[in-house]
Chain A
């Protein structure tokens, strides 16, 4: 490797380097600074670092050469697709740090912010991975930090339980993924790079030798299915979402899911591209079951965080429709959907944390009277719920619209469209989902509660996070074109 190549490689992974140094800095300061004077140092550092990273990513994306940059002997591949995912991760980190500033048990803890940053680094490498070694290491870097974060509040029995469940499911499924990778390595004659594996699979598919490959594909899909919380690998989701500290729930539900979709798309479209005909039916079934089960079970929930967990399973189902509709249209739809979903879900969980703080209960029925106690926060909840339900003019509407459009516009190699049923099922599901999203709004806006004249005060971090996300939801709902153009450009870069 020449010096110039090394510099080019370091420039390509600059966002991850900055975040890594920031994480080390935060943990070091946590060690040396006396306990009582820590205050908001770490939160401020994390927010500042996430802002700098976001700016670096935007700068890199603007100056992105048309050809993908391969760095470190092809280990990582940076293109617009990766840049867009990195942008989502750093924005999610920023918002998660903002809503952690006033959460009991985590707000002044340097390790908490450090782990949050390290897991973001892992996600960046997951999205940028171009080799199965990099994929596995990135995935585990993300997951191990998140296991610790889910169980972070050791005094709380629910938090340790959430961490434990997340850990056992995560370790189990990522090992199944690893076994799938080892089989893929063997069946392709010892290839680890995505492009080489895809080329070998092309030959094997031409010789009709796909059955052993399907075993590897299913094992790998288990690992990715866990990350994106797709049925039947979703069992951990409600428990972990309910038990974890709320900022972490928000972070897992958006950033970790987005990272899962980044590798899902890369791997299934590029590496398993030659086996497309075999896996489309399988993933379509996964999408159908995921959204239906997520929505049906969400309706029966009484705990708000648990309801949001099932809602996020259902959202994974809609996103999988976009993966199933292979190609630019589908990928662009997934990217657009995820970008708006980051804003929407963080807003929903921020409101969950505020309501829990005010009433000491996570139940939906205890959110009654919120609109009179805090009109601004109730409005943020209104925007988030309607955006999740896909009501215009909010950003979530266009996300769903593009995903269903991609499924209807999909044609398989023989020129037929086999996904119209999936789009119809998706539309039916969004109608069902309206019920439970509107239920929450009914409780907050119509139901009366004792002590509803007491105004609810919220701290600056929450207000800023809610203002940003709501502004984003409304802006991208009215001016969807710039974001969709970016998503299309990013989708074109996958090939």
Chain B
């Protein structure tokens, strides 16, 4: 992408990132299925990644792009742990609806 077209598109990248992040937050708060909540969290992570890359490109700072690699690694680790926990909860309760996960309360 040439530099002039990037400058023109920069607000769109940031706008898209904000939209993705908001969709993710709404998804976490509204949906009740643990896997969909988790997918929404991944959407938020990618919104942050997009913002990092757009800022990194616009300031010519490589740090932002490096950060994205770290975020990807962390996200992969989080997926492994998260899905394992979801499987464990499904085995014990036969459901991954967060409203059914209510044994602990008081």
Contacts and interface: CB of A to CB of B under 8 A. Distances in A.
Nearest to B29: A172
Contacts of A356: none
A190 B56 contact: yes
Contacts of A175: 24, 41, 44-45, 48
A147 B63 contact: no
B8 interface: no
B23 interface: no
Contacts of B49: 182
A182 B51 contact: yes
A478 interface: no
A396 interface: no
Interface in B27-56: 28, 34, 37-38, 41, 44-45, 47-49, 51-52, 54-56
Nearest to B49: A182
Nearest to B74: A140
Nearest to A169: B28
A394 interface: no
Contacts of A191: 61
A176 B104 CA distance: 26
A137 B85 contact: no
A243 B91 CA distance: 17
B82 interface: yes
A218 to B, nearest CB: 13
Nearest to A163: B85
Nearest to B51: A182
Given A144-B81, A164-B101, A179 B55 contact: no
Interface residues of A, number: 43
B2 interface: no
A172 B104 contact: no
B88 A144 contact: no
A238 B106 contact: yes
Interface residues of B, number: 48
A182 B52 contact: yes
Interface stretch (A256-264, A298-306, A346-354): A298-306
Contacts of B45: 175, 178
A179 B51 contact: yes
A28 B66 CA distance: 31
Nearest to B71: A178
Interface in B55-69: 55-56, 59-61, 63-64, 66-67
A185 B88 contact: no
Given A136-B71, A190-B61, A164 B52 contact: no
Interface string A286-320: 00000000000000011100100000000000000
B1 interface: no
A243 B104 contact: yes
B49 to A, nearest CB: 8
Contacts of B70: 133, 136-137
Nearest to B82: A167
A181 B78 CA distance: 19
B69 to A, nearest CB: 10
B63 A190 contact: yes
A191 to B, nearest CB: 8
A147 B79 CA distance: 12
A161 B78 contact: no
Contact of A182 (B41, B55, B81): B55
A160 B70 CA distance: 28
A455 interface: no
A182 B21 CA distance: 12
Given A163-B88, A186-B55, A137 B101 contact: no
B34 to A, nearest CB: 7
Contact of B48 (A147, A168, A178, A242): A178
B5 interface: no
B24 to A, nearest CB: 8
A395 to B, nearest CB: 29
A170 B101 CA distance: 17
Interface in A153-179: 154, 157-158, 160-165, 167-168, 171-172, 175-176, 178-179
Contacts of A183: 51
B88 A168 contact: no
B98 interface: yes
B88 A179 contact: no
Contacts of B41: 168, 171-172, 175
A214 to B, nearest CB: 16
Given A137-B70, A189-B59, A157 B48 contact: no
Nearest to B56: A190
Given A147-B85, A185-B55, A189-B59, A157 B93 contact: yes
Contact of B89 (A137, A144, A164, A301): A164
A30 interface: no
Given A160-B92, A238-B106, 4 more contacts: A136-B67, A144-B74, A147-B85, A239-B104
